[in-house]
Chain A
Amino acid sequence: MMKILQRNVLYLVAISLLPGIQSCKPKNAGNTVNSDAAGKVYVAPGKYDEYYNFVSGGFSGQLAVYGIPSCRLLRVIPVFSVDPEKGWGYSEETKPMLNTSHGQVPWDDLHHVAMSQTNGEIDGRWVFVNGNNTPRVGRIDLRTFRTAEIIELPNSAGNHSSPFLTENTEYIIAGTRFSVPPDDKNGDVPINTYKQNFKGTISFISVNKDNGNMDIAFQLQCPGVNFDLSHSGKGKSSGWFFFSCYNTEQANTLLEVNASKRDKDFIMAVNWKKAEELIKAGKGRKQAVKYASNRFDERTHTATSTIKNEVAVLDVKDFPELVYLIPCPKSPHGCDVDPTGEYIVGSGKLAALIPVFSFDKIQKAIADKAFEGTYDGVPVIKYEAALYGEVKKPGLGPLHTEFDDRGNAYTSMFVSSEVVKWSLKDLTVLDRVPTYYSVGHLMIPGGDSRKPTGRYLIAYNKITKDRFLPTGPELSQSAQLYDISGDKMQLIMDYPTIGEPHYAQAVSADLIRDKSVKFFKIEDNNNPYVSKGEATAKVVREGNKVHVYMTLIRSHLTPDNIEGIKMGDEVYFHATNIEQDWDVPHGFAIKGALNAELLVMPGETTTLKWVPDRVGMFPMYCTDFCSALHQEMSGYVRVSPAGSNVALNFSTGTNLAKADIPVGPAKSAPGK
């Protein structure tokens, strides 16, 4: 809703400010594509793409993986939203991943993507993503392409300024979009007491170097504003973190108007090395909170959710030299740092220019105390004292900036639907190309790291309209791939995305491809319900709970005949795929199950809970075509009334028609 309001106000601004601007939707966009474009994106059948591209799935809650330059969708990784196709959030093992202090939250809004870095370069170990609605950060393991961890953030609401990370992935940063009363304070206060009661919290999440495990190291309690985006310093500025802030008006209603009043909001500069020292010195205030830490154990193939109850908080106004504010024109959105770490680009989405700040000048201004005053107890540096220069007339609605390896910056212009290339050296505009339409984030592989590349740029757009064949009122969103290797940017591909693509990152496939896990070793499977071989398959009744220890292999279930299940039972199918080869998952589904299927990778154990709702015969089968006899990979579960004397019985291949019982001829041959 907010987004739509923003869009509308931006359109209004565009129309009212520049009536003479030409339409941002060319009549025939195809004319802008050169004839050699096809060759640049063509990846022949059986050949691989050069880059893995991890793209936020927006309100789908998931993460999409594309190959670049072909723009082929390789995979959708479920993160914050349940995915019945993969059993994510439905299997007993994955349900805890979506637990929060509110309980099971089956959906979120995934905005930003940050690949782990070492020395400021993407290292290909993990991808971090944010959940914007119920504040969370997820970590995807790039060996398995699965979500390995999700941590909830206390004192936060609308985790938008996230998950950006420091140069050696020491910390993942999460800044709240909505300021709210802290969790240990009474939140039952009038909404219009924002200025007195609301605070903006920034979380520093530590990342274990060896296993990636996340913990909230500390939080900064900041003035009540909206934190929008952020980026780490690099090189000389690497001990600092920069955040864009809007709604410094501290409005609590009709933000479209009331949070757009001031000429300048702020870029907030945080000396996180200093914060780290203060925490080590025990200066953090212990605050009672409640948040969930969910981790997936690769050996047990099982997630555990732990509720934690305390964070250490630094109130920034109590610690001088920790945080400074830099005025930045009109509701800054993107906050991007160039590869050298010297330039900080603030993109005021309602501004007609792009200010570029200098890290050296900021340091000098701090030393000289070149402040124009304070804001809620935090010193505000004079605009000119921090400013390196302004990019004049770049376009309308600057949002996000990425960098190439030749000293150029590329800024998306939402309102005028274009990408603008400009020089960091003299801040002159060098080139501009249209996008289709209303571009949000941009992405250059490595484009926010110390080592950007310079061949491809992708624009992720908010509006699709006429780009593809119409599909009713709801359209997929669109992205465009540009060749930026020459002086002129060249559009070479246009493709649909899942959800709304916000930020994305990409890295050379070489860094990830060879580390990809092909299957899980059955010997290492420590799931308590694993069946290591068919001889260990069994059915065990514990009161009204029935545990089916089942194996899956091409192409039969063991056991595949189960009798003695009764109404009132809860049946747990613990399915172990005992294959040990790449790309041989088996699926498992049973009629009437009120959840989803399982998709079980080789060597993995996954559990489906099933509560029969009626007496009768229930087929179960493998859902993922596995061999020529896949259709035979099936079985039956017989459900009897409560109190029935049908004995618990299970088998595969032996429960044959008895010759002395008058039944039809057995259809399946023995030994199937």
Chain B
Amino acid sequence: MKRLLVIACISASIFIWSGCGGNTDTPSTKETETSKTASENPSYDPHRGEGKFTKVEIGASVDPVMAENGNKVYGVKCSGCHKLTDEKLVGPGWKGVTTRHSPEWIMNFITNTDEMLNKDPKAQAQLEICLVRMPNQNLSDEDARALYEFQRKNDGVK
């Protein structure tokens, strides 16, 4: 049953995407679609994403303890699919992820994965490339924050 559901969700998200008339080959089209979807659903903030995180306080420099905690969580729950370089494995490589998305978006996506995949244009575009729905790894709020700090460090923030 769930297998069908997964396929159905993937198909549905692809269908919705193409149903909007989007050609997903070029980034510019994606941008157009993103703004279009957002304008159709004004309550949804594609910058922030859907989830409990509305405003994440970020320090000027990396908190080394938090980043190390994030590294540990990465090892157990994320490294199976994400490299720290820009190379795609199952999911996209993490290099530069903090420059592509806001901290709120990232933390909402990794804690509220299914809802984001069902509604967020950028998450759906990524799913279309990877074709494996990102698992919800049931991260705590602290885990999510620590992972973001680890990603910042990985992106060269001192």
Contacts and interface: CB of A to CB of B under 8 A. Distances in A.
A535 B77 CA distance: 11
Given A580-B136, A625-B3, A628-B132, A671 B87 contact: yes
Contact of A533 (B3, B77, B131, B133): B77
A247 to B, nearest CB: 49
B138 to A, nearest CB: 4
B136 A671 contact: no
B80 A627 contact: no
A337 to B, nearest CB: 41
B79 A653 contact: no
Interface string B61-82: 0000000000000011101110
14 contacts: A533-B79, A535-B75, A551-B80, A553-B80, A553-B90, A555-B90, A580-B137, A581-B135, A581-B136, A584-B135, A628-B131, A629-B131, A653-B89, A671-B88
Interface residues of B, number: 23
B55 interface: no
B143 to A, nearest CB: 10
A532 interface: yes
Contacts of B88: 671
A556 B80 contact: yes
A554 interface: yes
B77 A580 contact: yes
B56 interface: no
A519 interface: yes
Greatest chain B CB density within 10 A among A534, A554, A625, A626 is at: A554
A412 interface: no
A554 B75 CA distance: 16
B133 A522 contact: no
Nearest to A629: B132
Contacts of A522: 76-77
A584 B76 CA distance: 17
Contacts of B7: 628
Interface string A543-575: 000000001011110100000000000000000
A583 interface: yes
Contact of B10 (A521, A533, A534, A628): A628
Interface residues of A, number: 29
Nearest to A535: B75
Interface in B1-36: 2-3, 6-7, 10
Nearest to B133: A627
B132 A533 contact: no
A558 B80 contact: yes
A555 B3 CA distance: 13
A519 B90 CA distance: 22
Given A533-B77, A556-B80, A581-B137, 18 more contacts: A519-B138, A522-B77, A523-B76, A533-B79, A535-B75, A553-B80, A554-B90, A554-B135, A578-B80, A579-B137, A580-B137, A581-B135, A583-B2, A627-B131, A627-B132, A628-B6, A629-B132, A630-B3
A532 B75 CA distance: 8
A551 B79 CA distance: 11
A578 B87 CA distance: 22
Contacts of B89: 653, 671
A43 B135 CA distance: 30
B14 to A, nearest CB: 11
Interface string A536-548: 1000000000000
Nearest to A653: B89
A628 B134 CA distance: 12
Task: Give 5 nearest A-B pairs by CB, closest first.
Answer: A533-B76, A625-B3, A533-B75, A580-B138, A553-B80
